[in-house]
Amino acid sequence: MILSSRSKETKASITLKVNEKITQMTQAGKHVYNMTSGQLPFRPAGEFITAISKQLNFLKSYQYSPVAGMPKLRQKFMQYVESKRGINFTGSSDDTQFDCIISNGSKHSIYNVFGALLDPGDEVIILTPYWVSYPEIVKFWGGVPIIVKSHAFDAYTPPIDKIEKTISNRTKAIILNSPNNPAGIHYTDEWMKNFAEFLKDYPELMVVSDELYSELNYFDPKPTYFYQHDPGLLKQTIIIDGISKSLASTGLRIGFCIADARLTAAMATIQSQTTSGPSSLIQNALIEFDFEKMDGFFNPVKEQLRECAQIVMRAFRDANLAHCYYQTNSAFYYLLDFSRMPFFKNMEKEHEEEDLSSYIVDEILEKTGVALVPGSSFGYPNSARMSMTLEVAVFEEAIGKLMAYILDKKLS
């Protein structure tokens, strides 16, 4: 069997490897604090579950959906984004018509966007730390990821002048992911305002704004977006969102994209020849479901995230490692930057590799039972992503173990 070079060049998800190890350890009777999760351990809003159950006997819910999704739901998603962001798609720019296309999860939306946008050799600017699939999707379509680095001491926000320096005549798009997976922060309003100013000099540059975690913020101020500072920039904007995080429904596979109707039409063509439209059953349930009910659903989730974030802050402060800490405020992740920790200098001397993420994550798992995702997969070497989704008491216990590891290393 000779597999395609494209399939060989695509990197497998790192979480698969970590999860294999977790399974082995649990089977061997060891306790694992699984902090690798990319989903919320909550049931979706009750009203949404009821709306799904109402569709179960409805024949149309088992038949093909229109390729781009059900018109009523596409409209509802557009209205939802308009009301949440305080924008208006009609009349925001002179001649652009906007439309919404629904896909099988927002990963699928992003995949279709780049299929519709990129020619081989086109460059896409990606900011670190990034969500694992961005570079892989760009490469899959023949594009070239151009990476711009950020640092923990800037709360993982890359400077705009650094972004500007990477622009070339092949630059097609930039991906913004705010709130960010894996950093657990959103870019400040000031940053978004400056980004809007910067964009005015690059009218051809498209911005893929992945807003999947926009509702998941637990410390003020709330996330804002560059186009709120200048709605004329919407014509350069491709908004990505979905229900995986906001309705804790990763398995139902609904994501959407709002953009210039010429782009969404091209995406629909790709979708028509690949997956067809997404689940009719879930779309019908979403048409029925009152999106206002999401706010109530979020309250306990946000409360838990606030508590967990405070536990992390206290742990770093009590261990006299406050300089290694940064304040998260959204999504449900924390990115540990090992290179800022006192133990790292010694460890660096003992190893030749430039990125020790996997080595450290393996050692932490073996010694403490705390499972993390190595940061190399997020374009941020010598780090690890920690999900704050464990129940508070268990989370606190896991942080205690993690700190014991870090402090023990510090002494050695």
- Tell whether residue 217 is a contact of ligand PLP (CB under 6 A): no
Contact segment (CB under 6 A) with ligand PLP among 17-25, 99-107, 142-150, 273-281 equals 99-107
- Contact range with ligand PLP by CB under 6 A, out of 80-88, 103-111, 156-164, 190-198: 103-111
375 binds ligand PLP (CB under 6 A): no
Residue in the structure block whose two tokens are 């092949």: 170
Among 96, 166, 194, 250, which residue sits at the site for ligand PLP (rule: CB under 6 A)? 250
Query: Which residues ranging from 114 to 173 are in contact with ligand PLP (CB under 6 A)?
Result: 131
Collapsing DSSP to helix, strand or coil, 348 comes out as helix
Does position 92 interact with ligand PLP (CB under 6 A)? The reply is no
184 makes contact with ligand PLP (CB under 6 A): no
Q: How many CA atoms lie within 13 A of 387 on its CB side?
A: 16
Nearest to 404 by CA among 326, 324, 315: 315
DSSP 8-state class, residue 106: H
User: Which member of 105, 135, 184, 223 binds ligand PLP (CB under 6 A)?
Assistant: 105
The binder of ligand PLP chosen from 55, 181, 209, 236 (CB under 6 A):
181
Shortest separation between residue 70's beta carbon and ligand PLP, angstroms: 18
**Whole-angstrom Cα distance, residue 51 to residue 289?**
6
Minimum CB distance to ligand PLP smaller for 308 or for 341: 308
Degrees to nearest 5, angle at CA 246 with 382 and 220: 70
Q: How far is the CB of 107 from ligand PLP (least distance, A)?
A: 3
Smaller CB separation from ligand PLP, 38 or 369:
38
Residues with Cβ within 8 Å of 64's Cβ and at least 6 positions away in sequence, in order, are: 276, 277, 280
CB of 160 to ligand PLP, least distance (A): 21
d(CA 359, CA 1): 33
Selected from 177, 236, 237, 330, the binder of ligand PLP by CB under 6 A is 177
Residue number of the CB closest to ligand PLP reads 105
Q: Binding residue for ligand PLP (CB under 6 A) from 45, 143, 157, 210?
A: 210
Pick one of 44, 129, 158, 255: the residue that binds ligand PLP (CB under 6 A). Answer: 255
Three-state secondary structure of 122-179: CEEEEECCCCCHHHHHHHHCCCEEEEECCCHHHCCCCCHHHHHHCCCCCEEEEEEECC
By CB under 6 A, what part of segment 19-78 binds ligand PLP? 38
> Under a CB-based contact definition with an 8 Å cutoff, are residues 357 and 381 in contact?
yes
**Sign of the CA dihedral 171, 172, 177, 183?**
negative
Q: Is 273 exposed, middle or buried (0-12, 13-18, 19+ CB in 10 A)?
A: exposed
Binding site for ligand PLP (CB under 6 A): 38, 105-107, 131, 177, 181, 210, 212, 242, 244, 250, 255
